Every structure is written in structure tokens, then in C-alpha cells.
Structure 1
Amino acid sequence: MNRNLVAALAALLLAGVVAGYVVHARQSPAARDLGAQSVTAHSVEPGLQVLSNGVLSTVSLSDPQGARALTPLQCDRAHAAAGTVACLVPVDAFRGTHIQILDRQLRLQREIPLTGFPNRLRVSASGRMVAWTLFVDGHSYATTGFSTSAGILDTKTGTLVPTLEDFASTVDGKPYAAADKNFWGVTFAADDNRFYATMSTGGQRYLVEGDFAARKVRAIARNVECPSLSADGRRIAFKAAVDGHPRNGWRLSVLDLATMAVTPTAETRSVDDQPLWLDSETIAYALQRDDGVNDVWTVAASSTGQPHLLVPQANSPALVN
């Protein structure tokens, strides 16, 4: 047999082994059991979109722990709104991170190569704006020395902002320029221009309000991470570092933008996620178990009640209408 042909066949075999290993490694025994209670889907159906062991899925809001519809798409993070589906595609042996923008039928609309490891992802309520966060260095907000990259795409005009670090910043009412600025956890207002995000610099973590068209952000509060704006634009659900130190974990909390009062929720476990407003009174978020499997939980957007398990073996929740 031709030596070049042998080499080519060996390369293909190795690729298959690597790909098979990656898929198998991503599947915990608990997640593999989902096959018995799932159906195949080739579009995103109305309900609650989640990732089931990295597979884009939807569940019924009336029965979120029941059967789920599994699509062929795999993502490390996903979000969706108004017919726009965004997927941060996992890094594998053959390709780096990239973001895919798809329609409800999962037809690819745009693909953008990125550098880093997928971390956060949001689509604005209109489906027009998409924002992502990646770890460039490090892998945890609880450690020092990490670096993130946050970008925004306007799907209507095609305008791409690769990094929010290029935006003009204001802290305490004064122009602020520093080489150590990191941004993450973007959330959009209803006008698709104003947004909120976390900016880390000088050992502080700020909630910033941004103006996409003007290319600027201003700090409005401290110790606010991974914000999520309510539909009425009046409150922000977020994770607050306990005693101001991320190494102590985070407390899921709610900020009133009118009074700037902070209300810790009844969830006392450490939540390292960007929460989602299910409705005006309920927040959804992912929590990782000791075995590495994620579950989606809910809690009231107040200090009352108690957390409830919403979708087992899932993360990246998003409402799909």
C-alpha cells in the first residue's frame, strides 16, 4: 500500500479516536442517561432552552424536568431570544473557539473566530445584539491573574466590537484608563444600545453602564458581577462576592437601580453564573454539583422562599418564545 495513503488513513483513524474521546469525556454517566427521556429536534422549540451536557436542548416550562428535545448542536455556552440563537462552540483538537449565530431552525447566519475559552453569552430581548465573554488567561473569577475578553455583535448592522476594553471608561465621574481592565457578563437594555457589564480593574469589580453607539462605559456600583437586567429595566440580578472577596464565593443578589439597594436572595450556596430572569419575581441559574454535573435552579428575586430545582443536568438557561 502507498505510504502516503497509509499515513492518511492513520491520521483519519487518530482523528476519529480523538473526537470519540472528546465526546465521551464530555458525557458524565448521569448525563448519558438523558437518552431515555429525550427526543430529537432540528429547531429550537418554545420553552426553556438549556444545554444538556453541552447539547442544545429545550424543555417545557410546564414540565421542565420531563422529556427534553435535543438538537444536533453542541455548545459550551448558549443563549437565545426572539429567533436568534447564539452558541459558543467548544474548543476541540482541530479548531479553536468560535461563536455561531443561528436562526430558530439552527441555520447558520454568521460565524466569528474567537480567542479564549467560552464563559458567558447573552442575546438581547429583541434578538439583535449578542455579547460573549471568554477567559483568555486563567479559568476562575475567584483567582488573581485571570484575563477575560468581552465582545458585542450587532446582528442588524453587522457591527462587531471585539473587545470592550476599547470603550472609553469613567470611574467616580472621571475618565479612567488602565491596562488591567477586564470586562465580562454583558446584559442588554430594551433599546439595544444601553448595556450593563462587570469591569474589573485596580482590585475592584464595578457594575458599568454602557452606551454601545457612543463606545463608552461608566462605573455605577461596586461588587457587582455577571449582571442580568430585568425585563422592566429596573433591577439587576447578579453575583456578589462574599465580604467583597471572590475567594469566599458569591451570593446571588438583586440590585434596585433606582435606590441602589442590594437584596441577597434566599440562595446561600455560592453561585458562579450569570442569572436569568424567568419572570419579574423569579431568577434561574446553574449550580455545579461535586461530580461536575450542572443543574438549573430557581429562587425568588427577594430574600424570601427557598431555591427549587428546575432542570437537572443542565445549564445556560434561556427563555424561548
Structure 2
Amino acid sequence: MSALTQRTRIAILLAATVVLAAVAIGYIRLAADRTATADRTADPFTAAADRATLVAGRRLLVVSDRHLATVSRDNPNGPRRVAPLECVRVYAAAGTGVCVRPDSPWSYSLVVLDQELREKRAFRVPGLPNRARVSASGRMVAWTTFVGGDSYNSGGFSTRTGILDTRTGALVSTLEKFAVTREGRPYQAADLNFWGVTFTADDNRFYATVSTAGRRYLVEGDFAARTVRTLKENVECPSLSPDGTRIAFKEAVGADPTRGWRLSVLELASMRVTPLAETRSIDDQAAWLDNATVAYTVRDSSGDPDVWSVPSDGSGTPRLLVPDSESPAALG
């Protein structure tokens, strides 16, 4: 009986030891999970890295503190999903994204992304990045940079604007190679500068701005034919509406950029211009959130950016949309 009692005591002790060990392991795991959760909460880049995507939905893509981020369109001032991908300019459509990534203070690469932010292609772009766009189908990508060193440039600025066909791999590093028709006649000049591409639904035609001889024009381009033709003067940084009927753009006040720009909308069928309710000078390529609303970046006196929106018909008032961010694009 005493031996049985002794064996029973040993069994009970071993069982208790196993239970206590299991409890200890469970506690350690719980503590580790809590610590990891706290770390992710404290570090928004880690917390959201696996959740920021370009999958279509009611979300906005922006640059937040020089990183790619998404926010809800229904609560744009709410939580942000921030990816560990440094970008100074972003855009996306149909699951294809573009990020202009800084490689050093004076060196940048253009990175093409899939909807899960995986890199599909990357290459260096010259100069300082300024604009980026993706066609509605996700096939075509365009970018603009400021560059120096052109012999004709004396105190002004020069640009390089390129287009990539992600399906065929066709790459045009500068639109200056395209044949230009100005006001109905073939035109050649050393001082041609292009910027601000926006694509039509067929992935071949596009609109952009060209400057030459002190004048700036809206041009319509044909990627396959490598041609552009001027349509209207004093139209900069065009952005085509989702329905393809209007262009949001910045219009130099009195045709003089030194006086600032007025955000406006051009109706392509009639070429009628409607100034929008935003009266501050807007130096940006606006993005359409839908057929009724455009978004754009406004910088305060210290240079910090915010994303604002305004109705596209000239009515209403500007609205602060996403504070402390820039480079907006609608994901759906």
C-alpha cells in the first residue's frame, strides 16, 4: 500500500509538472504574441506591410512620409496601410503600380509593381522625378523627370518623359523622338519638352504637355505611330477623366506660369474650359477619383503636402482628403 502510494505520488507530481510546463509554454507564447503585436502597432511600416496592396477596392493610393500607402476612400483620414517601399511618386490602375524610388539623394529608379507590390521591372530614370501615370488597363506606364545639361536651356528647365508598354516591353525613353505637328504643320525644335502623360482607353493614344518657343500646348499622341499633334495652348499636366470626355489640368494664370496655375477642366468635344472651385495655385497633375471628383496635392508654406479634392464641374468647395500625403490615385 505504501509502494502504491509512493508511485501515485510520483505520477501526480509528474502530471503536475507536465501541466505547469504546458502553462508556462502557453504563457511564453502569449507574451511573445503580445510583444510582436505591440511592436507591429508601434511600427506602422511593419504593421501594414503585408496588407498594403494594389488590389481594386474603395481605397486611395498615396505617398505617406515617402512610402507607398493606402487608405479607405470612405475614411481617408483613418488608418493607413503603409508598405516598406520608399517612393516619391506613385500611381496604379488595374493591379499595376508604378513607384519612383530614390536610390540615392540624386538617383532614382522607376519600379513597375504587381498588385501585391512585387517588383516586375525596374530601371534608372534621369533627373528629379515629377510625374507618373498608369493607363486604365494597367498596360502602359509613363513618367516625367526634370533634367539639366540641355544646351538650349538658359535659366529655364528641361524634362524627360518616357513611356513603357509593360505587355510588349517597348520602351521610349523620351517623347522628344516623336514627330511633332504644331498647329497643323510639321514642327522641329531643339527646345521641345514634354511632361504629364495621361492615357486613353485604347492604350495607344495619350495626352501630354509640350513646351517650345515659350509656349505650352496640350498634345494628343499616338504611341504606335510615334507622333504627337498640338490641340490647345496653355494646358499643362493633363489628366483624362474615367469616361474619356474631359481633361483636368493646370492652367497658367494669364498664360504666365510665374503667376501660378488655376486647376481647371477641359471638355474635349467643345474645348470649353471650366475653372474649378480650388483657387490656390496648384502645381500638380490632378487625379480623377471618379467622373465627378478630382484629387491633387497642395503644399503648405513649409513644403509639407496634403491631398485635397474638389468637384469636377466647378461647383462646391475644396475638401481636405488625406492629410500629410501626396501623389493620390484611386484604386477602384
Higher Cα Rg: structure 1 or 2? 2
1:179-210 Cα shifts (integer Å, max 9, x gaps): 00000000000000000000000100000000
Runs of 4+ with deviation above 4 angstroms: 34-39
Give the whole-Å Cα distance in 2 for the aligned partners of 1:144 and 1:104: 41
Residue matched to 1:41: 49
Contact 1:135 1:146 in 2 (8 A): yes
Q: Deviations over 1:243-292 (max 9, x none)?
A: 00001000000001010010100100000000011111111000001121
* Residue of structure 2 in register with 1:53 after alignment: 65
Q: Which among 54, 78, 81 is matched to residue 69 of structure 1?
A: 81
Consecutive unaligned residues of structure 1, counting only runs of 5 or more, are: 1-33
Structure 1 CA distance for aligned equivalents of residues 43 and 266 of structure 2: 40
* 1:183 partner amino acid: F
The question of whether the paired residues in 2 share the 8 Å contact of 1:48 and 1:61 is answered with: yes
Contact 1:98–1:112 (8 Å) recurs in 2: yes
Give the whole-Å Cα distance in 2 for the aligned partners of 1:211 and 1:219.
12
C-alpha contact 2:277 2:316 (8 A) present in aligned 1: yes
Counterpart for residue 201 of structure 1: 212
Long gaps (5+) in structure 2: 1-41
Distance of 1:144 and 1:250 partners within structure 2: 20
SS at match of 1:255: strand
Matches within 5 A, 1:123-138: 123-137=134-148
Q: Which residue number corresponds to residue 178 of structure 1? A: 189
Query: Does the Cα contact within 8 Å between 1:56 and 1:75 map onto a contact in 2?
Result: yes
Residue pairs, 1:109-148, within 5 angstroms: 109-137=120-148, 145-148=156-159
| RMSD (Å), alpha carbons | 1.8
Fraction of identical pairs, as percent: 57
1:319 is matched by which residue type in structure 2? A
Task: Report the 3-state secondary structure (helix = DSSP H, G, I; strand = E; otherwise coil) of the residue aligned with 1:63.
Answer: coil
Q: Is it true that 1:294 corresponds to 2:302 in the alignment?
A: no
Q: How many positions carry a matched residue from both structures?
A: 283
TM-score, length-scaled by structure 1:
0.85
Aligned mates of 1:79, 1:225 — CA distance in 2: 18
Inter-partner Cα distance in structure 2 for 1:92 and 1:294: 22
Length-normalised TM-score, structure 2:
0.82
Task: Tell me the equivalent position of 2:258.
Answer: 247
Q: 1:278 aligns with which of 274, 284, 289?
A: 289
Q: Is the 8 A contact 2:46 2:84 kept in 1?
A: no
Aligned partners of 2:44 and 2:95: how far apart in 1?
A: 28
User: 2:98 aligns to what SS in structure 1?
Assistant: strand
In structure 2, how many angstroms separate the alpha carbons of the residues matched to 1:39 and 1:295? Answer: 23
